Amino acid sequence: MLVAEKKISVAEFRQMDFDGEDAYYELINGEVVKKSAPTPLHQECSFLLTLQMGNFVVSNNIGKIFPAPVDVYLHEFSHQLPDLVFVSTKNLGIIDDKNGIIGVPDIVVEIISPSSVYKDRVQKNGEYEAAGVPEYWLVDCKNQTVEIYENVDGKFHLHSFAAESGKVTSKVLENFELEITSIFPPEQ
The ranges assigned to domains in the chain are 10-14+21-182
pLDDT greater than 80 at residue 33: no
> Which residues are within 8 A (CB) of 64 and not within 5 positions of it... i.e. 6 or more apart?
57, 86, 87, 92, 95
C-alpha 78/C-alpha 84 separation (Å) is 17
pTM equals 0.84
Domain 10-14+21-182 of CATH type 1.10.3720.10: no
Band of pLDDT at residue 1, cut at 50, 70 and 90: very low
* Mean pLDDT of the 66-71 span: 92
C-alpha 31/C-alpha 57 separation (Å) is 33
* Better-scored residue on pLDDT, 74 or 119: 74
Torsion of Cα atoms, 154 then 61 then 53 then 97, to 10°: -70
Band of pLDDT at residue 186, cut at 50, 70 and 90: confident
C-alpha 188/C-alpha 183 separation (Å) is 15
Query: Among 11-20, 119-128, 133-142, where is mean pLDDT lowest?
Result: 11-20
What's the mean per-residue pLDDT of the chain? 88
Asked whether the beta carbons of 77 and 8 are under 8 A apart, the reply is yes
Instruction: State the pLDDT at residue 119.
Output: 83
Short-list 110, 116, 90, 99, CA closest to 36: 116
**pLDDT over 70 percentage in the chain:** 85
Instruction: State the pLDDT at residue 39.
Output: 81
Query: Among 40-49, 103-112, 134-143, where is mean pLDDT lowest?
Result: 40-49
Instruction: State the pLDDT at residue 79.
Output: 84
